[in-house]
Amino acid sequence: MKNVLITGASRGIGAETARLFAQNGYSVFINFNKSQQQAETLRASLVGCGYQAEIIRADVSSSSDVGKMFDRIESSCGGIDILVNNAGIAQTKLFTDLSDDDWQQMIASNLSSAFYCCRRALPHMIRQHYGRIVNVASMWGQLGGSCEVHYSAAKAGIIGLTKALAMEEGLSGITVNCVSPGVIRTDMTSHLSDEDLNALKNETPTGTLGTPYDVARSILFLAGEDSSFINGQTLGVNGGFVV
């Protein structure tokens, strides 16, 4: 049974991804930071159905927290086969209003987190000559989002990290890809007004917004055997918003 770590899996896209991997026979580590109750409820529902799931707290914007999380995972199962770097935060602010803290927190939560987790996950993957890394970017990292410059920069960084790491690790039997979601209905987009959501829907060629399940099944595909020759790619899950 393959082990998968999904960061930020207490809610939204991460929780749906954890559910889908568990249902497809993977042993799932559900990382959370603040939402312990939601992570516990998710774990209990999966274990109750006979699936393999554990929760593990770590603030993935912290290198030392990530180190402790991997120490625990490695002592329980040796290491992970699949890493999904999903944890992230968003913030809407004019660029000229961004504080140093806003910038640093955004980069740490969305980009440095992936660096810390990849760095710790890779030695085991390299030793076993097998691994899958799937990073969660955003279409704003491709297009650039007004009033989300720090978020867009972090997500563009994720796309760059994905491409370069894919080059470096290809010969080690490891693929590195990312999904780039469009507008997905989760807590992250719950602050948007109906008017804004309708405008975004109308801008999307499919005329719909995405669901966490849409993203989760793309992640599952990139982590599975059917995608073994796909490496360094950015898979848009956005209804055609970016073509």
Catalytic residues: 151
d(CA 188, CA 88): 9
Alpha carbon of residue 80 to chain centroid: 15
* 27 forms part of the interface with ligand NAP (CB under 6 A): no
Q: Is 181 in the site for ligand NAP (CB under 6 A)?
A: yes
Q: Which of 3, 186, 218, 234 binds ligand NAP (CB under 6 A)?
A: 186
CA 3/CA 11 separation, integer angstroms: 20
Closest CB to ligand NAP among residues 173, 185: 185
Residue that has been written with the tokens 């930071």 in this structure: 33
Is 1 or 243 the residue whose CB approaches ligand NAP more closely? 243
Q: Is 183 in the site for ligand NAP (CB under 6 A)?
A: yes
Q: By C-beta, is 103 or 130 nearer to ligand NAP? A: 103
SS3 189: helix
The least distance separating ligand NAP from the CB of residue 11, rounded to whole angstroms, comes to 4
Is 220 near ligand NAP (CB under 6 A)?
A: no
DSSP code at position 90:
-
Asked if 59 is part of the footprint of ligand NAP (rule: CB under 6 A), the reply reads yes
Give the CA-trace dihedral at 186, 70, 27, 221, to 10 degrees: 60
Using alpha carbons, select from 81, 89, 100 the residue that is nearest to residue 34: 89
Instruction: Give the whole-angstrom CA distance, residue 144 versus residue 72.
Output: 37
Is 152 near ligand NAP (CB under 6 A)?
A: no
Binding site for ligand NAP (CB under 6 A): 7-8, 10-14, 31-35, 59-61, 86-90, 109, 136, 138, 181, 183-184, 186-189
